[in-house]
Structure 1
Amino acid sequence: MTGPAEPFLYDRSGGRYPIDKPRWRGDDGSPLMVSALAGIDRDDVDTGERSQWRYRAALPYRITHHVSLGEGCTPLLEANIGGADVYVKPEWFNPTASFKDRGTTVMLSALRDQGIRRVLEDSSGNGGSSVAAYAAAAGMAAKVLVPSSASEAKIVQSRRHGAEIELIPGTRQATAEAAIAQSEDIFYSSHNWHPFFLQGTKLIAYEIWEDLGFRAPENVIVPSGAGSLVLGCSIGFGELLRAGQIKRMPRILAVQPENCSPLARAFAHGSAEPIEGDWQQSLAEGASIARPVRGPEVLAAVAESAGAFETVTEEQIRRATQELAWKGLYAEPTSAMAAAAVPGFTARGLMAAGETTVMVLTGSALKAA
């Protein structure tokens, strides 16, 4: 009887690469993924660990020394949002006040183990401040490219952690392109490209499973720009399903701003690729990504979960941000998109009464004041 196959990295053309060597994309230029893992059960959860590293048995290989600031273990709160009873997971309880810390802690821990000492990131804010903080904790140098239009509070946070900041004029896409150009000289630890970032974000699925008494919700509502949270939920709940710990995949209900919705538009038209368009900037700056690197994978993940996309207007985002604040939930506009989409998902019959729905609020409004 053979044991489980050793995990590996793979690209879109089928190329395979060692799991423990530093690499951020395939030889074909496509983003990498980790091969399917078997998942873990409740006995594998290290309940003595007060961070998301309690689920480290679910990672593809053993990281010798993990770089942690206490990320994960965020609350699960009951709330009525948009007329629906849901559970809210406020991710601003993470160390740098966004869900990005879940991916960064695993990504930078793996890279430090692999001998990388200087990293490059591009971000509209939350990803950059997260990489800056964890690089500082790991004793690594970091350079962050940021759109010149990004929130000043997020830029200040990255600078305070000691990162070198370069402001890039133009769109969020222009910043991503500038980072790829600079990746010849410094290792690109992109939260959108690096496969281990997704291995960190997938742990939110394990945490929701434990939060709900080791069961899965029927629905998970997430904002989507590049789609790392969509893919994290897909990977994590997929592993739990393979491990026999849940009975079915939750529906992944993803939200994009109408001003920049290449994934939602593609999903509506049955396209396997994000749709190009004359996209505009949105209040939801973290989701204003015109060319999501992992677009085909994100679209497939939503479809395979029997999920859906919803788009929301700028006015809906404004209103939802205020309505959440009136409930004591100080969410940035990118997060508030999830709340703004609830009436639309409900009207489409995707959130039925009596179902368990978890809404992920990805970041704090303190960083987008």
Structure 2
Amino acid sequence: MKEEVYCYTCGNPRGDLTEWRCKSCGGAYTLEHDNLFSQSKIINSRFNMWRYADALSPSIRENPVTLGEGCTPLINPITPNIHFKLEYVMPTASFKDRGSSAVVSYVRSLMKRKKIRGVVEDSSGNAGASITAYSSFLGIECRVYVPKGSVGHKVKQIEQLGGRVEEVDGSREDAAKKAQEAKDPYLYIGHAWSPYFIEGIKTLAYEVVEQLKWSIPEVIYLPAASGTLLLGVIYGYKTLLNSGVIEKCPKIVAVQQQEVSTIHDTFYGLPSHRSTYSGIADALNVKNPPRLNEIITELRKVGGEVKTVRRSEIIRAARELGLMGMHVEYSAAVAYAAFRKKLEDFIYSDTEAVIILTGSGLKSI
């Protein structure tokens, strides 16, 4: 089975298996393999994302590191055509567990030929907690660099799971720079850079299609910051399309908060707000996503859109979701905040929509 890792920007192949960015242009790597999706090869005895192992890259599928992530609920509290995907119903309470399971499985495959004592990650909280959990399960150390002032509950979750938290003065990007200084026997596996993290997110697309009895929604609303969720969903649906499972990709609507809207501004050619401002949705305060060019390119290929929402709209959306029984953090509520502006259009039609809710509200109490 063929598996290739190369730079999305310049096309140069990855050299060393531990490289996390292109040595030629500094771009992010992307992953391609020839595994197509086949309904007949779903492992029905597995009630997690690894039921789709046959459609994942060869280097991670042989001996996966899993805590039972995936197979999250898809519910319809409003009308039958409006679906909420509860990605916060996960081992560490966020969608990041799909990506963490995949990237730590890749680390396990590397350990056969290279001494790795631990991994290093940069995060505002959710990814750090997630990668820590899977690293602890594998039995290796995890160091997480976070911006000083990160949400306390998320930092405590990292520590409770066995991670070593390193606070960094400055922004989210400053924390990333410190993490990227990691040296042997520690391996930097930053989720925003790792193509294997995105590989794990692809299973979300597979899961939604299976839950909808092999049909696709007309539109999917999801929050966007570093773009791993967005790209994983797009690449997942592209795999389904190339495999002949579906006839077209759904429309993707990426949602950002107004205070930090780099993807939105770039997508529409607007002056960027790359300032010191941060928004209420702490997990979305990423001002310089490393995959920005890839995000814009792939979103345009599938005819997607980018929306922004105000602080007051996010708070109201979170409250409404709570009244429907879904307790999510503000970073998850942004998707519904944008969708609710079109709510009546969907209520009075048969158009299928999926809103992805990414993180539990328990993380930010």
Per the TM superposition, whether the score is higher than 0.5 is yes
The range that moved more, 22-31 or 295-304, is 22-31
Q: Which residue in the other structure is 1:8 paired with?
A: 4
> 1:71-220 to 2 correspondence within 5 Å?
71-80=69-78, 86-115=82-111, 116-182=116-182, 186-220=186-220
Match of 1:253, SS? strand
Displacement, 1:361?
0.2
Partner of 2:286: 289
- Aligned-residue offset at 1:183: 5.5
Letter paired with 1:174: D
Give the C-alpha shift of residue 184 in structure 1: 7.3
Give the number of equivalent residue pairs: 358
Percent of pairs with identical residues? 32
Q: Deviations over 1:179-235 (max 9, x none)?
A: 223457731111101110000011100011111111221111110010111000111
Q: Please report how far the alpha carbon of residue 276 of structure 1 lies from its aligned counterpart in structure 2 after TM superposition.
A: 5.6
Q: Judge which range, 116-125 or 350-359, deviates more.
A: 350-359
The one-letter amino acid of 1:53's match is W
In structure 2, C-alpha distance between the alignment counterparts of 1:185 and 1:291, rounded to whole Å:
28
Deviation readout 1:327-346 (Å, 9 max, x if unpaired): 11001000000010014456
Shift of 1:352: 8.8
Higher mean C-alpha deviation, range 199-208 or range 171-180: 171-180
Query: 1:224–1:118: structure 2 CA closer, same or farther, 3 Å change rule?
Result: same
SS of residue matched to 1:144: strand
Match of 1:355 in 2: 351
User: Cα–Cα, structure 1 residues 268 and 36, in superposed 2: closer, same or farther, change >3 Å?
Assistant: farther
1:60-75 equivalences under 5 Å are 60-63=57-60, 64-75=62-73
Tell me by how many angstroms 1:7 deviates.
2.0
Measured on the aligned residues, the alpha-carbon RMSD in Å equals 2.2
User: 1:281 & 1:85 partners in 2: Cα distance?
Assistant: 34
Q: Is 1:277 aligned with 2:274?
A: yes
Measure, in 2, the Cα distance between the counterparts of 1:181 and 1:21. Answer: 17
After TM superposition, give the deviation of residue 170 of structure 1 in Å: 2.2
Deviations 1:108-161 (A, max 9, x none): 011111113310001001000001100000011110011122111111111111
Unaligned residue ranges in structure 2 (runs of 5+): none
C-alpha change, 1:43 and 1:186, in structure 2 (3 Å) is same
**8 A contact 1:310–1:344 mirrored in 2:** no
Displacement of 1:17 in angstroms is 2.9
Q: What TM-score results when the alignment is normalised by the length of structure 1? A: 0.91
**Alpha-carbon distance in 2 for matches of 1:17, 1:173:** 24
1:87 aligned counterpart, secondary structure: strand
Structure 2 residue aligned with 1:250 = 250
Secondary structure of the residue aligned to 1:93 is coil
Q: Which amino acid aligns with 1:33?
A: T
For the 8 Å contact 2:117–2:186, the answer to whether it is kept is: no
Q: How far 1:79 sits from its partner (Å)?
A: 2.8
Distance (whole Å) between structure 2 residues aligned to residue 337 and residue 359 of structure 1 = 10
In the superposition, the TM-score normalised over structure 2's length comes to: 0.92
**Is 1:366 aligned with 2:362?**
yes
Cα deviation for residue 38 of structure 1 reads 4.9
Q: Match of 2:306? A: 309
Q: Residues 55-88 of structure 1: CA distance to partner in whole angstroms, max 9, x if unpaired?
A: 011112153321110000000001339xx95100
